[in-house]
């Protein structure tokens, strides 16, 4: 296959990633892919024959790319899912609730993940008599902890044995062996980072669709929405407070260079020591608590206690006051589980919960004033169960209290409901796997039907796009 044909097919695949699930006419899709209609029709047929695109009328990536298997471990709950090449959840299961799940000893945590994966794959084909093998492009395990380049957790949110090289193997190798999977296809990722990449992907795709709707004569306008390179900042608010910063690549519009989907070439800024986004232990000023408590003095909520300890044992950390556990401790008539039921509703009808969420947002606004001014993100997202309209309004109040100048930043929130909250994290992890093993390797895949990855001997050798996985059948 000559280089021109390869380039055309790669552009078509990238266009499919950038535009799905938006319906486009042939003319619109050809414009995004920058190919003629005749070239589009010719290569679509070839890509469908190779199963790189779906055989149906929709222009979506095909079965050759398999699924990503994702397991997300949270403070007390877990979730496993199969993700398709566009970040959609195909099948998922919820794990049993375990107190302080993230801090279980390594052997117990590995067993919990094994059981969850077995359930996921067994229920995938329920009604067919057995659970057959599934073609995977990779496996991702999401953990509520910053992760060092050595493959071990940093900080104290996970069991100390994970940091001891004499007691445990690096996380990716330990999970690969526990799940009988190739170690090079197993990724262990921080939960704040997967939310950051999921929100960056969704925002990038929205802007691509918006660009198609803009008048052609305005598409080269530098002041248009979101087509310059910029930062996306995400705060994940739940059992453990975390953050992620993504540098989005400039997206392509008429007459200007860039990529069709900024997410493909985006970069996660994890810092020189892999501690970027570790905001749970940010120190708070004691002078803020009287102001916060005065805001909610009319509500039946307990004052925000300046002496409340973080899970690391220290006083005055953001984690101690902005997590779901901290909110439940302030709302006297609800425990943590009942609070979750309230937070999953369409509207927050409990005035005490609403007041507590506004206080969390106010605290975040006080804390995030300097980072927001320093980074000047193009997009600012809140995710997690306590990412609600009340929280966002509180953030704006906190920024105003600190003397924010100019227009307040737009705060983007995730879909409401249990599925929207759970699926965002597993979708982000699945998209990371596809970006690593597919999106960035389309040229090799088109040429050879294989991808390139590192095996255990570190040799850079061709590998099949997917591997057959049947752990759940054992």
pLDDT one-digit tens code per residue, 317-347: 998 999 888 999 999 888 888 988 898 888 8
167-189: average pLDDT:
94
Residues 57 and 74 in one domain: no
Residues 69 and 186 in one domain: yes
CATH of the domain at 54: 1.10.10
Residue 392 within any structural domain of the chain: no
Residues 83 and 40 in one domain: no
CATH of the domain at 137: 3.30.420.40
> Alpha helix (H) ranges present in 61-163?
106-124
Q: What is the pLDDT of residue 454?
A: 64
Residues 156 and 93 in one domain: yes
Residue 276 within any structural domain of the chain: no
The total number of residues written for the chain in this structure: 474
Stretch among 130-144, 189-203, 263-277 having the lowest mean pLDDT = 263-277
Residues 86 and 139 in one domain: yes
Could you give the CA distance from residue 458 to residue 456 in angstroms, rounded to a whole number? 5
> Alpha helix (H) ranges present in 334-414?
336-343, 351-375, 389-401
Residues 87 and 142 in one domain: yes
85-92: average pLDDT:
93
102-109: average pLDDT:
94
Residue 447 within any structural domain of the chain: yes
Contacts of 461 (CB under 8 A, 6+ apart): 452, 455
Q: What is the pLDDT of residue 378?
A: 83
Residue 219 within any structural domain of the chain: no
Residues 129 and 159 in one domain: yes
pLDDT band for position 225 (cuts 50, 70, 90): very low
Q: What is the pLDDT of residue 474?
A: 46
Stretch among 4-13, 19-28, 36-45, 414-423 having the lowest mean pLDDT = 414-423
200-216: average pLDDT:
68
Residues 20 and 104 in one domain: no
Residue 324 within any structural domain of the chain: no
**pLDDT above 90 (res 150):** no
**pLDDT above 90 (res 91):** yes
The tokens for 120 are 């996921």
Residue 249 within any structural domain of the chain: no
Residue 40 within any structural domain of the chain: yes
Residues 16 and 94 in one domain: no
Domain around 50: 3-61
Residue 464 within any structural domain of the chain: yes
Q: How many domains does the chain have?
A: 2
Could you give the CA distance from residue 5 to residue 411 in angstroms, rounded to a whole number? 42
Residues 45 and 70 in one domain: no
Is the distance from CB of 59 to CB of 16 less than 8 angstroms?
A: yes
Chain mean pLDDT for the chain: 85
Q: What is the pLDDT of residue 125?
A: 63
Whole-number CA gyration radius for the chain: 23
Highest mean pLDDT: which of 272-276, 286-290, 451-455? 286-290
Residues 42 and 108 in one domain: no
Residues 52 and 34 in one domain: yes
């Amino acid at each position: 296959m000559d280089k021109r044909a390869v380039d055309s097919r790669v552009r078509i695949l990238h266009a499919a990633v950038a535009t799905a699930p938006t319906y486009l006419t042939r003319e619109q899709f050809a414009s995004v892919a920058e190919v003629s209609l005749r070239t589009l029709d010719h290569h679509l047929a070839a890509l469908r024959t190779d199963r790189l695109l779906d055989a149906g009328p929709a222009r979506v990536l095909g079965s050759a790319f398999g699924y990503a298997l994702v397991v997300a471990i949270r403070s007390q709950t877990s979730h496993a899912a199969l993700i398709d090449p566009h970040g959609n959840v195909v099948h998922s299961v919820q794990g049993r609730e375990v107190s302080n799940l993230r801090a279980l000893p390594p052997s117990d945590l590995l067993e919990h993940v094994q059981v969850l994966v077995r359930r996921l794959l067994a229920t995938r084909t329920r009604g067919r008599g057995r659970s057959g093998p599934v073609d995977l492009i990779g496996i991702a395990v999401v953990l509520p902890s910053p992760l060092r380049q050595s493959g071990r957790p940093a900080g104290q949110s996970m069991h100390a044995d994970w940091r001891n090289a004499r007691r445990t193997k690096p996380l990716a190798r330990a999970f690969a062996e526990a799940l009988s999977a190739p170690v090079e296809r197993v990724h262990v990722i921080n939960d704040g980072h997967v939310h950051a990449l999921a929100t960056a992907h969704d925002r990038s795709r929205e802007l691509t669709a918006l660009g198609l709707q803009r008048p052609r004569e305005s598409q080269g306008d530098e002041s248009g929405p979101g087509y310059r390179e910029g930062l996306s900042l995400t705060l994940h608010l739940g059992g453990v407070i975390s953050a992620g910063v993504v540098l989005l690549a400039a997206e392509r519009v008429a007459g200007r260079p860039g990529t069709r989907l900024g997410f493909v070439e985006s970069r996660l800024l994890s810092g020189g020591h892999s501690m970027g986004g570790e905001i749970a232990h940010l120190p708070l000023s004691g002078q803020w608590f009287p102001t916060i408590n005065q805001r909610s003095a009319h509500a039946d909520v307990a004052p925000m206690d300046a002496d409340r300890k973080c899970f690391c044992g220290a006083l005055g950390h953001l984690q101690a006051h902005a997590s779901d556990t901290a909110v439940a401790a302030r709302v006297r008539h609800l425990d943590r589980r009942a609070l979750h039921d309230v937070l999953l509703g369409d509207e927050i009808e409990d005035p005490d919960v609403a007041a507590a969420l506004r206080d969390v947002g106010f605290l975040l606004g006080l804390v995030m004033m300097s980072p927001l001014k320093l980074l000047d993100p193009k997009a600012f997202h809140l995710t997690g169960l306590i990412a609600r309209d009340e929280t966002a309004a509180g953030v704006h109040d906190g920024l105003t209290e600190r003397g924010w100048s100019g227009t307040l930043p737009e705060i983007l929130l995730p879909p409401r409901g249990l599925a929207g909250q759970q699926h965002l994290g597993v979708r982000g992890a699945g998209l990371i796997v596809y970006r690593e093993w597919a999106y960035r390797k389309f040229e090799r895949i088109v040429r050879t039907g294989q991808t390139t990855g590192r095996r255990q001997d570190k040799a850079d050798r061709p590998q099949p796009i997917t591997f057959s996985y049947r752990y759940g059948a054992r």
